[in-house]
Amino acid sequence: MSRENLKGNSMNKKQTGGGGIIAAIVVAICVIGLFVSRNAAPRIFSFLRWALIIVVIIIALLVALIIFIARKATKKDEKEKKESPTSTSSNMAHLDSEQAEIIRKGREDLLEVRMLSSRIKNFDIRSSLTNVTKTAEKILITIKERPEKIASSRQFTHYYLPTLREVITKYARVEASGVSTDDMPEKITSYLANVQKALDKQYSNLFDDDKLDMTVDMEAMTIAIKRDGLLDEDDFKKMEAAKEEAEKPAPQPTPEPEPSPAPQPEVPAENPIPEPPKFEESSAPNFTMPGFEEPPKAPEPEIIERIEGEILDANGQPIEEVIATAVKEDNSAH
């Protein structure tokens, strides 16, 4: 029987005993007053007599109700005692001493985690712990009923449960101290979610052999039925097709194409900058300033010739004479 049940039973006994004492005192007072007022005050005697009858009826109803509740609680405790994996009186005669010790230690760790969970104030952590302990309870029940699975669950009993107990013990101590836990509740919740996934996988792995044996037995029996002529070829083909269909992986949903973004309307600029006009090379204006003539283009190299050491211009005149004439005209102009 768990500690909570023992504590509840002791509280029920104290409450029942206290109610019985009070009822006995009330009845005693009424009886004494009944005898005292019998000769002294007939009216009081009549009143006390009816009051005593009413009190006795009420006490009888209360006693019947208490007995009914006590029996119902006893039956509930006996049922939990038989079904609970943490019960110390569970039948483990089919286990050897080492296996029984492993189960006992696992029960102890699981019971401690449940007691710590009841003291934690954070609802998310308490809810996660409830789910974790339920899965751990199913694992303990399975390995107790099938001791051959204890060896494959050694990590669960020797590391997972003790570590979970230690982590929750420390968190409950920190939370009860009243100091700031910062982001510790979120970390504990994430940790418990990972533990839940691991225990679900651990519990599923306990039945892998059963799944394999079941598949082999079905196939062997199907072949035997066909061999005995109890299953024709068409039925056999249908069974094989159904088997292949069941073994096919589920089709992956094709991702829907992402909708193309709607074309954005072109918004005209508030103050558009005009582009500069483009001029063709032939239509470019002549920006020659008045009074300045464009210098003559240099003659092509083949025009200039050397004749007996003299340099002639394009008109065939010597360059020296042309330069001298130009200097005189310049001087006369000044």
Whether the predicted pLDDT of 26 surpasses 60: yes
* Rounded to 5°, angle at Cα 24 from 19 and 25: 100
Mean pLDDT of the chain: 75
Q: Which of 36-40, 73-77, 240-244 has the lowest mean pLDDT?
A: 36-40
Burial of residue 47, with CB atoms counted within 10 A of its CB: 0-12 exposed, 13-18 middle, 19 or more buried? middle
Residues whose CB is less than 8 angstroms from the CB of residue 268 and which lie 6 or more positions away in sequence, other chains included: none
Q: What is the CA radius of gyration of the chain?
A: 54
- Give how far Cα 306 sits from Cα of 194, 233, 301, 311, Å: 103, 116, 11, 5
The percentage of the chain sitting over the pLDDT mark of 70, rounded to a whole number, equals 59
| Region 144-159 average pLDDT | 90
In the chain, where the domains are located? 3-83, 97-206, 211-245
Looking at residue 88, its pLDDT comes to 45
* pLDDT top residue among 35 and 209: 209
% of residues, the chain, pLDDT over 90: 26
Looking at mean pLDDT, say which of 235-239, 288-292, 316-320 comes out highest.
235-239
Q: What average pLDDT does the segment 244-270 reach?
A: 64
- With CA atoms as reference, report the closest residue to 218 among 258, 257, 199, 246: 246
Comparing 66-70, 153-157, 260-264, which segment has the lowest mean pLDDT?
Answer: 260-264
pLDDT band at 4 (very low <50, low <70, confident <90, very high): very low
Ordered alpha helix ranges (H), the chain: 3-40, 42-83, 97-119, 123-145, 154-155, 161-177, 184-205, 208-227, 233-247, 319-333
| Residue bearing the bigger pLDDT, 75 or 37 | 75
Structure tokens at 18: 């206290």
Sort 16 into a burial class: Cβ within 10 Å, 0-12 / 13-18 / 19+.
middle
Burial (0-12, 13-18, 19+ Cβ within 10 Å), 131 = middle
pLDDT at 321: 75
Which residue shows structure tokens 């050397």?
306
- Which tens digit of pLDDT belongs to each residue from 78-99? 666 555 544 444 466 777 888 8
Distance CA 320, CA 318 (A): 6
The pLDDT value recorded for residue 173 is: 92
- Please write the tens of the pLDDT for every residue from 101-115: 999 999 999 999 999
What's residue 142's pLDDT? Answer: 93
Say if CB 243 and CB 235 are below 8 A apart: no
Residue of higher predicted confidence among 254 and 153: 153
Most confident of 14-18, 147-151, 188-192, 222-226: 188-192
pTM: 0.47
Instruction: Give me the mean pLDDT over the 253-272 stretch.
Output: 60
- Give me the DSSP letters along 48-94: HHHHHHHHHHHHHHHHHHHHHHHHHHHHHHHHHHHH-TT-TT---TT
The number of beta carbons lying within 10 Å of the beta carbon of residue 188 is 22
